[in-house]
């Protein structure tokens, strides 16, 4: 009884209490507690300190019960240790924060079972929506997610099922640009370290690679196209095997920048210099956001734009806007030339 008359009957601090204590309106207090940009830093500091002093706790649960929304989204990616995904996640989180959404991150490690558990983990937290880079190999997990009715957007990859929203980069163009760049510099034996063909972006980059080779009248050799895991470390064993086999090549086009840097590391261990002996092109243009000592030629796929667009589409789905529209967004790619490639032409 004492507890009931004590702790449970204590009146919770309200926005009105903070307003009365600080002299600001309830609206100003509310916006200051959300760090809105139209409130000065001094006012935000004063109001937040007073809120803390009074023991104010924002009642997110009550708000979600009233609105039927939790103001949270989940982002499921292959491997957040890959800077490509960490940059994308950061951009999503930044966009979500402007709409007062909280983001939490889950890894799938390109594993269907892990991905399924990540999806159910997100659903168990009643997220309002999910942005996911699907592991692929099977459409089952996305079809399960589709049946739940939870809004979701595919990021970076798409399925043959055209009823799902997605935002991808122009991977075919990117593969074409990377290969043409090497061909124009006299490289004809181009080793393509690609991800597994079940991944849509891998298939489309291969189409670009093949189209460029055909335009130059150069046969596409199956032994120069290798599928490796795109999880960090996946390309090292494959390249070591290629080097042991004495397969001739003068350039490498890697599925992503991580594979490209791993390739450069292995080549250096074999005393093969880049670009003097082998030219290397990556994909993702991570160096647009990170200062890395070795400048890598890479295909830029606008991680910021694709991430923000994915969140914008997810919001439309959450708020049931344009429900009759299906979003299939393809963001342009371009080649950024740095010092990892060299011409063989005199």
Residue-wise pLDDT for 125-172, tens only, equals 889 999 999 998 778 899 999 999 999 999 999 998 788 999 999 999
C-alpha–C-alpha distance, residues 176 and 180, integer Å? 6
Residue-wise pLDDT for 185-237, tens only, equals 999 999 999 999 999 999 999 999 999 999 999 999 999 999 998 776 778 88
Half-sphere exposure of 182 (CA within 13 A, CB side): 33
Homologous superfamily of the 171-301 domain (CATH): Response regulator (3.40.50.2300)
The arithmetic mean of pLDDT across residues 308-330, rounded, is 93
Confidence of residue 1 (pLDDT cuts 50, 70, 90): very low
Tell me how many degrees the CA angle 245-280-154 measures, rounded to the nearest 5.
Answer: 105
Three-class SS state of 1: coil
Residue-wise pLDDT for 14-62, tens only, equals 899 999 999 999 999 989 987 888 999 999 999 988 888 887 766 554 5
Lowest mean pLDDT among 5-14, 217-226, 252-261: 5-14
Domain ranges of the chain: 2-58, 70-169+303-331, 171-301
Q: Given this model, what pLDDT does residue 63 score?
A: 54
Query: Strand order in 225-227's β-sheet?
Result: 225-227, 190-194, 251-254, 279-283, 297-300, 334-336
Torsion of CA 34, 39, 40, 43, to 10 degrees: -70
Q: Given this model, what pLDDT does residue 10 score?
A: 46
- Assess whether the previous peptide bond of 186 is cis (omega < 30° from 0): no
Residue-wise pLDDT for 63-89, tens only, equals 554 556 789 999 999 999 889 999 999
Q: Quick check: 105 pLDDT over 70?
A: yes
Q: Given this model, what pLDDT does residue 184 score?
A: 97
Q: Of residues 10 and 54, which shows the higher confidence score?
A: 54
Ordered DSSP codes for 195-249: --TTSHHHHHHHHHHHHHHHHTT----GGGEEE---STTHHHHHHHHHHHTT---
Residue-wise pLDDT for 285-297, tens only, equals 999 988 888 899 9
Percent of the chain residues topping a pLDDT of 70:
92
Question: Using an 8 Å Cβ cutoff, are 175 and 334 in contact?
Answer: no
Classified by CATH at the fold level, domain 2-58 comes out as 434 Repressor (Amino-terminal Domain) (1.10.260)
The pLDDT mean for the chain works out to 90
Q: Given this model, what pLDDT does residue 6 score?
A: 40
Q: Quick check: 259 pLDDT over 80?
A: yes
Does domain 70-169+303-331 fall under CATH 3.40.50.2300? My reply is yes
Q: Given this model, what pLDDT does residue 54 score?
A: 82
C-alpha–C-alpha distance, residues 27 and 19, integer Å? 9
Can 2-58 and 171-301 be said to share one CATH topology? no
Ordered DSSP codes for 49-117: HHHHHHT----HHHHHHHHT--SEEEEEES-TTSHHHHHHHHHHHHHHHHTT-EEEEEE-TT-HHHHHH
C-alpha–C-alpha distance, residues 187 and 294, integer Å? 21
Q: In the structure encoding, which two tokens stand for residue 334, read together?
A: 């371009």
């Amino acid at each position: 009884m004492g507890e009931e008359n004590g702790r449970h009957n204590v009146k919770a601090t309200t926005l009105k209490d903070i307003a009365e204590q600080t002299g600001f309106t309830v609206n100003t207090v509310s916006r200051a507690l959300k760090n809105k940009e139209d409130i000065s830093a001094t006012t935000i500091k004063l109001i937040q300190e007073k809120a803390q002093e009074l023991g104010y706790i924002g009642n997110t649960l009550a708000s979600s019960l009233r609105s039927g929304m939790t103001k949270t989204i989940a982002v499921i990616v292959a491997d957040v240790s890959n800077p490509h995904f960490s940059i994308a996640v950061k951009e999503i989180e930044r966009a979500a924060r402007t709409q007062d959404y909280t983001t939490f991150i889950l890894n799938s490690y390109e594993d269907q079972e892990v991905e399924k558990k990540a999806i159910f983990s997100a659903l168990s937290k009643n997220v309002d929506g999910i942005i996911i880079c699907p592991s692929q190999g099977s459409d089952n997990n996305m079809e399960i997610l589709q049946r739940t009715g939870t809004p979701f957007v595919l990021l970076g990859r798409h399925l043959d099922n055209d009823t799902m929203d997605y935002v991808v980069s122009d991977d075919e163009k990117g593969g074409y640009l990377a290969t043409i760049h090497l061909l124009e510099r006299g490289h004809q034996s181009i080793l393509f370290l690609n991800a597994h063909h079940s991944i849509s972006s891998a298939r489309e980059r291969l189409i670009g690679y093949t189209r460029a080779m055909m335009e130059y009248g150069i046969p596409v050799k199956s032994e120069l196209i290798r599928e490796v895991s795109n999880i960090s470390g996946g390309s090292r064993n494959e390249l070591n095997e290629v080097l042991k086999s004495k397969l001739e090549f003068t350039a490498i086009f890697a599925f992503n920048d991580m594979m490209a840097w791993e390739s450069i590391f292995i080549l250096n261990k074999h005393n093969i210099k880049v670009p003097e002996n082998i030219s290397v092109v990556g994909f993702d243009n991570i160096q647009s956001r990170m200062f890395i000592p070795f400048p890598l030629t890479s295909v830029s796929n606008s991680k910021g734009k694709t991430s923000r667009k994915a969140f914008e589409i997810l919001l439309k789905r959450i708020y049931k806007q344009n429900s009759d529209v299906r979003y299939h967004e393809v963001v342009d790619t371009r080649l950024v030339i740095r010092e990892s490639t060299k011409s063989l032409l005199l």
